[in-house]
């Protein structure tokens, strides 16, 4: 059974209700030990103040979300922003920086070129990340996002890229994005053997899903065998936090945030 000591709150889950300070206080109030923060709430208060809030809390800062988006029209600008994200992760004491690939540049029909753009962007970013002591967590996203958000869509592809790029980068496995993959078990085992699993994100896939981006479900409300995937991830040697990350414009973002966190804790215990 999942234990609360393994659960981390991704601030996106309560992003409409709580600012950074409130999210940190909420984690502490509910007995959570880990938090994953987004760049937007950090920008709201400024990096120095954010670092004070987060580092002073005693919480484990599991990750910073989010950077990447390399397969874009303006590579230098994107690389500069990614380097700033690494610096922000280091400032708040985040172990990893979460990276998504980016979609196809405007007007392009060449997904292979977009894949190459992601590889080149990561290769250019890695020396800065290694020097800062921030691990990169490459997160494959569900293929419905391939065109406009993230062209790295399978765990296999993400792990292949990590192997090609060397040290300092691993994969974040988000059940929402990979649950459908017939190669998932094989690829979790491979990523584990290669010591590349650096993150595990949880939520659920609702039927029907009403919005591609903002209708993720609470654990237990959908069709994902979260406990089964968690077993595979642990059998592959990953024992880090389970980060609950729910984008839910019409449901969980409209609820009392303390109720949301209480529900996360309860569902994590029962379904993860």
Classified as helix, coil or strand, 165 is: helix
- Among 139, 142, 141, 151, smallest CA distance to 104 is for 151
Number of residues located near Zn ion, criterion CB under 5 A: 3
Q: What is the contact mask toward Zn ion in residues 224 to 263, using x (rule: CB under 5 A)? A: ---------------------x------------------
**Least distance between Zn ion and beta carbon 110 (Å):** 26
DSSP E strand boundaries for 87-210: 96-100, 135-138, 169-174, 197-202
Interface of this chain with Zn ion, residues 182 to 211, rule: CB under 5 A? 201
Q: Which is nearer to Zn ion, 156 or 174 (CB)?
A: 174
Least distance from C-beta 127 to Zn ion, angstroms? 25
The distance of closest approach from Cβ of residue 199 to Zn ion in the complex, given in angstroms and rounded to an integer, is 8
CB of 101 to Zn ion, least distance (A): 13
Residue 51 vs 206, nearer CB to Zn ion? 206
Among candidate residues 229, 265, 228, the one with its CA nearest the CA of residue 244: 265
DSSP-assigned letter for residue 212: T
- Write each residue from 93 to 132 as x if it is in contact with Zn ion (CB under 5 A), else as -, in one continuous string: ----------------------------------------
Give 64-91 as a DSSP string.
EEEEE--SSS-HHHHHHHHHHHHHHHHH
Which of 174, 181, 204, 221 forms a contact with Zn ion (CB under 5 A)? 174
* Nearest in space to 233 (alpha carbons), one of 162, 178, 270, 166: 178
Query: How much of the chain is helix, strand and coil, in % rounded to 5?
Result: 45, 20, 35
Distance CA 272, CA 256 (A): 23
8 or 27: CB nearest Zn ion: 8
Shortest CB 102 distance to Zn ion, Å: 15
- Cα(70)–Cα(235) distance, integer angstroms: 32
Residue placing its CB nearer to Zn ion in the complex, 95 or 201: 201
Q: How far is the CB of 139 from Zn ion (least distance, A)?
A: 5
Name which of 60 and 245 has its Cβ closer to Zn ion.
Answer: 245
Dig out the tokens for 40 from the structure. 């937007």
- The least distance separating Zn ion from the CB of residue 124, rounded to whole angstroms, comes to 23
Q: Which residues here bind Zn ion, judged by CB under 5 A?
A: 174, 201, 245
């Amino acid at each position: 059974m999942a234990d609360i000591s393994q659960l981390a709150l991704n601030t996106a889950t309560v992003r409409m209700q709580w600012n950074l300070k409130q999210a940190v206080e909420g984690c502490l109030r509910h007995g959570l030990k880990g938090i994953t923060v987004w760049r937007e709430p950090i920008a709201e208060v400024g990096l120095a103040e954010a670092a004070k809030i987060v580092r002073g809390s005693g919480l484990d800062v599991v990750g910073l979300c989010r950077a990447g988006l390399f397969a874009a029209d303006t590579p230098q600008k994107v690389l500069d922003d990614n380097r700033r994200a690494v610096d922000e992760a280091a400032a708040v004491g985040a172990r990893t920086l979460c990276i998504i690939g980016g979609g196809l540049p405007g007007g392009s029909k060449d997904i292979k070129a977009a894949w190459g753009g992601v590889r080149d962007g990561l290769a250019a970013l890695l020396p800065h990340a290694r020097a800062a002591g921030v691990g990169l967590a490459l997160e494959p996203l569900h293929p419905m996002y391939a065109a406009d958000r993230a062209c790295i869509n399978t765990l296999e592809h993400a792990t292949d890229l990590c192997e090609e790029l060397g040290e300092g980068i691993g994969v974040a496995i988000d059940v929402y994005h990979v649950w459908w993959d017939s190669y998932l078990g094989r690829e979790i085992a491979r990523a584990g053997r290669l010591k590349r699993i650096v993150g595990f994100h949880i939520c659920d896939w609702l039927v029907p899903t009403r919005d591609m981006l903002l209708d993720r479900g609470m654990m237990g409300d959908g069709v994902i065998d979260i406990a089964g995937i968690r077993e595979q991830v642990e059998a592959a040697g990953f024992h880090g936090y389970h980060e609950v990350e729910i984008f839910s414009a019409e449901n969980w973002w409209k609820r009392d945030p303390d109720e949301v966190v209480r529900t996360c804790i309860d569902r994590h215990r029962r379904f993860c």
